[in-house]
Chain A
């Protein structure tokens, strides 16, 4: 009874009347701007979108149902894989670094490249959509569930041991219940991601679905159609995010002290010496090669590691291949790096501002939570249309993709400042900014760095998607081109290079994190 009341209270707190008014005002402004800029072809007015949706209701509905079904299956498989991987790591702690690195690598595989390869593998049908939806969700479930499985204090394990019971009982009685809130948090992020993955899967030669309609609308520069699909995809994402959150609250399983931990604050693999890096490299290459030989995939499109080596280093034309790929990669990185830094800086900066001015937060947070679940596939072309095909557009796409998760994580971190520390500053009547610098910012740092690590795959996804769908530049466009011309040597080389860059950047961010936290939050590293 009281639980239900509290829930309603929480819902009301999350959707204040102010937000509804803000939404209404935004709609009016949107309509006005769209009408004013009608010649520039990038904003469709709400009225035009509604008109398009009603005119094509049947078509959109059928496409939506197809995509949703693929997303649901991918959601189930991907989350199952994420949970099983987390269980594997908990039961086999020595495998953690290896599993975490491989998981990161696979998560960093650019959808632009994996889509066409999966299409060749599966042939026509829904295989690629379901696979990509699963690939889009397993990592964001794996990390929080792993944290959750370990979130229990030592005393609970001692309790189980004191009755002579083993690891399986500890898993059942302690770890799994402790991980449930973390699983819900992971599923919440996964729900919109699965829909996005399914749509991307449909870009590569599917017969039906919202992704197919998107490609058609983009090619025809059909503004109302593109915006309609963006609106539908966004609405589905927000609803899925909210629905999983609601289901989690209904279960009423979350002890508050466990929920305090943000899902992105995952303890990640940390490179302890080059030996482990080498091991990860060897295992990656072995898995890559082994899978292809095991399934006897044709060499024509399933390139082995040695094929990539020949293509890039030792074979004929290697120098030209290298120049082409490295040139595209350099261009992509020149867009990604500023977007990555800007997204993190704006996210953390706004979190600080909102904490200093808490009243603004109640208005902004519902919008931010809604926006963070909007799929990049839907928004990337719109942003690029708005800001142009040059650097600004791509940088903005990357920054937007990173901005919202960072904001949410940093707000979480700021809110975790210990009460006693805040009281101390209160006792000395310290100014807000002094309290921020001395107490709250250090408390925010772990969350900030966790989101900086999580932002790496997100940045890769954003930049390759934007280059592929909108700007036609950089490595994203290169992969799209070579996929359509069946130049699989270049495609696999690009995938390998992106994976390598992702792991290196991840290692650098991790090293920076350890360096900073060892000076500000030493207790965070001890765990």
Chain B
């Protein structure tokens, strides 16, 4: 019962290596993977493990060195060409000469959607930036910039939403607030989502499923389902189940870390 508006993602033998002086550097080892339509999957791993590369492969911003990626019945390029996916970038990537409203509207115009000031201002309200429509990115705090970037990513009503450490540069308090507020956004929207993060708590809080990646080249060290009820409010976060899953993810992260050195001991 695949839903065209919530495509699933299938990776078959996908690998990626980058050319470098002195030979190819493998970034992603051959992967087979299936992500359910409409789900939120978190990719967790240490810095530089290749999780962002994996996300960029799914976005069609990088080409795999081998293997095939299908999103529903289409390739990432097909999806990109009809502007059915959007990416919230790590550094927000807001254009400094556009206002908040201008940047959010850009998400529509780049996707060739008709102008719709009402939809733009609805989204701005939704991410809590009401009153800041006319501000430039330089006048916003880091958290506000990320809100604007997420509003822009939602503005094209994507079928696939890719979040590349969207809260990576934020302080703990702001991150916590956004983690609490934003799930409602994409739950209502229902796009298939992939979130790259290096925060265990964030992954467990937001995702339906967590893939722990080992350091370069990225391999799947653990595949952990998150069977916690939604909304994940204070009660859920304080529960034994939540802590247990966090513990599992942390353990998998530790085990996946530097296996060669562990083996040597």
- The answer to the question of A162 belonging to the interface, with a C-beta cut-off of 8 Å to chain B, is yes
Inter-chain contacts of B111 with A (CB < 8 A): 163
Cβ contact within 8 Å between B156 and A155: no
Inter-chain contacts of B157 with A (CB < 8 A): none
- The answer to the question of B86 belonging to the interface, with a C-beta cut-off of 8 Å to chain A, is yes
Residue of B nearest to A253 (CB): B97
Within 8 A of B (CB), among A148-182: 153, 155-156, 158-165, 169, 173-174, 177-178, 180
Residue of B nearest to A158 (CB): B61
Tell me the complex Cα distance, A253–B138, Å.
Answer: 12
Tell me the complex Cα distance, A169–B91, Å.
Answer: 21
Cβ contact within 8 Å between B110 and A158: no
| Number of B residues with CB within 8 Å of any CB on chain A | 27
- The answer to the question of B261 belonging to the interface, with a C-beta cut-off of 8 Å to chain A, is no
Cβ contact within 8 Å between A164 and B93: no
CB of A178, distance to nearest CB on chain B (Å): 8
Cβ contact within 8 Å between B59 and A162: yes
Q: Contact flags (1/0) for B60-92 with A, using CB distance below 8 Å?
A: 110000000000000001001111011101110
Given contacts A153-B93, A163-B156, 19 further A-B contacts (CB under 8 A): A158-B89, A159-B93, A160-B110, A162-B60, A162-B61, A163-B111, A164-B82, A164-B83, A165-B110, A169-B110, A173-B95, A173-B106, A173-B110, A177-B95, A177-B97, A253-B97, A255-B136, A256-B138, A257-B96
Tell me the complex Cα distance, A236–B138, Å.
Answer: 36
Tell me the complex Cα distance, A153–B91, Å.
Answer: 10
Inter-chain contacts of A174 with B (CB < 8 A): 95
In this complex, the member of A155, A169, A173, A177 whose beta carbon has the largest number of chain B beta carbons within 10 angstroms is A155
Inter-chain contacts of A159 with B (CB < 8 A): 87, 89, 93, 110
| Number of A residues with CB within 8 Å of any CB on chain B | 22
In the complex, 22 of the A-B residue pairs with CB atoms within 8 angstroms, ordered by the A residue number, are A155-B89, A155-B91, A156-B93, A158-B56, A158-B61, A158-B93, A159-B110, A161-B61, A162-B59, A162-B60, A162-B80, A162-B85, A162-B86, A163-B110, A163-B156, A169-B110, A173-B106, A173-B110, A177-B97, A255-B138, A256-B138, A257-B96
Tell me the complex Cα distance, A159–B107, Å.
Answer: 9
Cβ contact within 8 Å between B138 and A164: no
Residues of B within 8 A of A (CB): 56, 59-61, 77, 80-83, 85-87, 89-91, 93, 95-97, 106-107, 110-111, 136, 138, 156, 162
Main DSSP-derived SS at the A contact region: helix
Tell me the complex Cα distance, A165–B60, Å.
Answer: 12
Inter-chain contacts of A257 with B (CB < 8 A): 96
Residues of A within 8 A of B (CB): 153, 155-156, 158-165, 169, 173-174, 177-178, 180, 253, 255-258
CB of B108, distance to nearest CB on chain A (Å): 10
Given A169-B110, A173-B110, A174-B95: A163 and B89 interface contact (C-beta under 8 Å): no
Residue of B nearest to A162 (CB): B87
Inter-chain contacts of B56 with A (CB < 8 A): 158
Residue of A nearest to B84 (CB): A164
CB of B54, distance to nearest CB on chain A (Å): 15
Inter-chain contacts of A155 with B (CB < 8 A): 89-91, 93
Given A164-B80, A164-B83, A255-B138: A156 and B110 interface contact (C-beta under 8 Å): no
Tell me the complex Cα distance, A501–B107, Å.
Answer: 51
Inter-chain contacts of A163 with B (CB < 8 A): 80, 83, 86, 107, 110-111, 156
Tell me the complex Cα distance, A155–B92, Å.
Answer: 8
Tell me the complex Cα distance, A47–B107, Å.
Answer: 64
Tell me the complex Cα distance, A153–B56, Å.
Answer: 16
Residue of A nearest to B92 (CB): A155
Inter-chain contacts of A162 with B (CB < 8 A): 59-61, 80, 85-87, 162
Inter-chain contacts of B156 with A (CB < 8 A): 163
Tell me the complex Cα distance, A176–B247, Å.
Answer: 49
CB of A256, distance to nearest CB on chain B (Å): 7
